[in-house]
C-alpha cells in the first residue's frame, strides 16, 4: 500500500541538517528511510561543512541505501543556512526539518500525509514529540490547544508558553517562507521568527500524536549561551519584523522583549557571565519595572549587585 498523500499530489520533504553529528546521523536517516514507500515523501541530508566523520557516514549511507535519499555538502554557514538550502532543494510542498541527533517517530510520515488529506488548507501542522534522556527516561509531549485567533495563538507560543513547537514535529508548507526564511545571522533560536510568522499568518492545525523523538543532551551552559548572546536582543526585532508580523501583532513586542531579556539574563547567570547578566536584567527593568516582582529572577539579580557572584 502506498503512502496516503500520493493520490492527491501531496509530497513531504524531510530535511536533515548535519554538522558534526557523525555518531547520531545514521539513526536519524534510518528513522526516515524506513518510512519512504513511494513518491509522496523524500529525504534530503545537508552536510554543513562538517569537520568530523560526517561526510564518510553520509557516503556509507548512500552506498547502503542506493537512491534512497539525496545528499548535499556545503560550506559551513550555520543551521539557518542549511534549512534555507533545504527549502530551495525540496521538491515537496510541505517540509519537516529533523535534527541530526533526533529521530522521526514510527509511522510519522503516514500520519502527516493522512492529516494533510483531511486538512488541505493547513500551512503548519503541529505534532507532538517524545523527549528522550541519556538515562533512557522518556516523556511524551502532545499539543493540546490551538487558539483560533491569530494574536492569541502567537501569545500562546511566544509569551504564555502554552504552545510548544519542536523541529521534527512540525510540518510547514513552503508558502510560510514567502514572508521570510530562517535568519542566518542567528546561531540559536533561529526558528522562533519562522514559527511566529506561521502561527500569525497562516491556517494551522494540530496532530495529537508524537511525530519525533527528541534526544536531550547535557550541553555546556557556556557554549549554549555564547550563541544566544551573539544574537542577543536583536532576535526581538527579527521576530516582529513587519514583513513577518503586521501591525496586529506589534502590541506583543514589549512583553516579548522583557521575556527575552530575562531569558538571556538567566542564561548569562548560569553561564557565569556576570556583566552580561546585569545588562540583560537592566534591559528588562527599563522596559517594565514590574520585573522586580519576579522572585526567582530578582533573587539572582540581588546576588549579582551585592557582588556575591553567580
pLDDT value at 212 more than 90: yes
DSSP symbol at 250: G
CB-based contact 104:166 (threshold 8 Å): no
* Nearest-angstrom CA–CA distance, 51 and 281: 37
Q: What is the pLDDT of residue 1?
A: 40
Task: Enumerate residues 6+ apart whose C-beta is below 8 A from 272.
Answer: 221, 222, 310
* Nearest-angstrom CA–CA distance, 178 and 123: 12
Other beta carbons within 10 angstroms of residue 264's beta carbon come to 25
What is the DSSP track for 258-299?
HHHHHHHHHHHHHHT-HHHHHHHHHHHHHH-GGGGG-HHHHH
The C-alpha cell of 273 is what? 557571565
Q: What is the pLDDT of residue 111?
A: 97
Q: What is the pLDDT of residue 227?
A: 86
* Nearest-angstrom CA–CA distance, 79 and 100: 11
Q: What is the pLDDT of residue 219?
A: 63
Structural domains of the chain in order of their starting residue, each with its CATH number: 4-215 (3.90.550.10), 221-305 (no CATH)
- Map grid coordinates 498523500 to a residue: 5
pLDDT digits (tens, 9 = 90+) for 144-189: 899 999 999 999 999 999 999 999 999 999 999 999 999 999 988 9
Cα dihedral 287, 292, 296, 301, rounded to 10, equals 80
The C-alpha cell of 174 is what? 513552503
pLDDT value at 46 more than 80: yes
CB-based contact 213:169 (threshold 8 Å): no
Other beta carbons within 10 angstroms of residue 177's beta carbon come to 18
Is the pTM higher than 0.85? The answer reads: yes
Q: How many residues does the chain have?
A: 310
Question: Which burial class, exposed, middle or buried, applies to 49 when counting CB atoms under 10 A from its CB (0-12, 13-18, 19+)?
Answer: middle
Cα dihedral 146, 131, 239, 163, rounded to 10, equals 20
Cα dihedral 128, 28, 21, 232, rounded to 10, equals -20
pLDDT digits (tens, 9 = 90+) for 221-267: 455 788 889 899 999 999 999 999 999 999 999 999 999 999 999 99
Q: What is the pLDDT of residue 251?
A: 98
Q: Which residues pair with 47 in a beta bridge?
A: 18, 73
Amino acid at each position: 500500500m502506498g503512502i496516503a498523500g500520493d493520490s492527491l499530489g501531496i509530497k513531504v520533504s524531510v530535511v536533515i541538517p548535519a554538522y558534526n553529528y557523525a555518531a547520531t546521523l545514521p539513526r536519524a536517516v534510518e528513522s526516515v528511510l524506513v518510512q519512504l514507500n513511494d513518491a509522496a515523501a523524500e529525504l534530503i541530508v545537508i552536510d554543513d561543512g562538517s569537520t568530523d566523520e560526517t561526510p564518510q557516514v553520509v557516503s556509507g549511507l548512500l552506498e547502503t541505501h542506493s537512491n534512497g535519499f539525496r545528499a548535499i555538502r556545503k560550506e559551513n554557514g550555520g543551521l539557518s543556512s542549511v534549512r534555507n538550502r533545504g527549502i530551495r532543494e525540496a521538491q515537496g510542498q510541505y517540509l519537516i526539518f529533523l535534527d541530526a541527533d533526533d529521530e522521526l517517530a514510527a509511522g510519522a510520515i503516514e500520519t502527516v500525509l493522512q492529516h494533510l488529506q483531511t486538512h488541505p488548507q493547513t500551512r503548519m501542522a503541529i505534532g507532538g514529540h517524545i523527549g528522550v534522556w541519556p538515562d533512557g527516561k522518556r516523556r511524551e509531549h502532545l499539543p493540546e490547544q490551538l487558539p483560533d485567533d491569530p494574536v492569541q495563538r502567537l501569545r500562546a507560543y511566544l509569551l504564555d508558553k502554552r504552545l510548544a513547537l519542536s523541529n521534527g514535529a512540525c510540518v510547514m508548507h513552503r508558502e510560510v517562507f514567502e514572508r521570510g526564511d530562517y535568519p542566518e545571522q542567528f546561531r540559536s533560536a533561529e526558528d522562533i521568527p519562522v514559527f511566529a510568522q506561521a502561527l500569525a499568518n497562516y491556517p494551522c492545525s494540530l496532530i495529537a500524536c508524537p511525530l519525533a523523538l527528541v534526544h536531550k543532551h547535557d550541553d555546556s551552559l557556556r557554549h549554549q549561551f555564547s550563541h544566544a548572546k551573539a544574537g542577543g536582543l536583536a532576535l526581538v526585532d527579527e521576530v516582529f519584523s513587519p514583513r513577518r508580523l503586521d501591525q496586529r501583532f506589534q502590541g506583543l513586542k514589549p512583553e516579548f522583549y522583557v521575556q527575552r531579556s530575562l531569558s538571556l539574563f538567566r542564561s548569562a547567570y548560569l553561564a557565569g557571565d556576570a556583566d552580561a547578566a546585569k545588562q540583560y536584567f537592566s534591559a528588562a527593568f527599563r522596559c517594565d519595572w514590574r520585573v522586580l516582582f519576579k522572585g526567582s529572577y530578582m533573587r539572582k539579580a540581588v546576588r549579582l549587585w551585592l557582588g556575591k557572584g553567580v
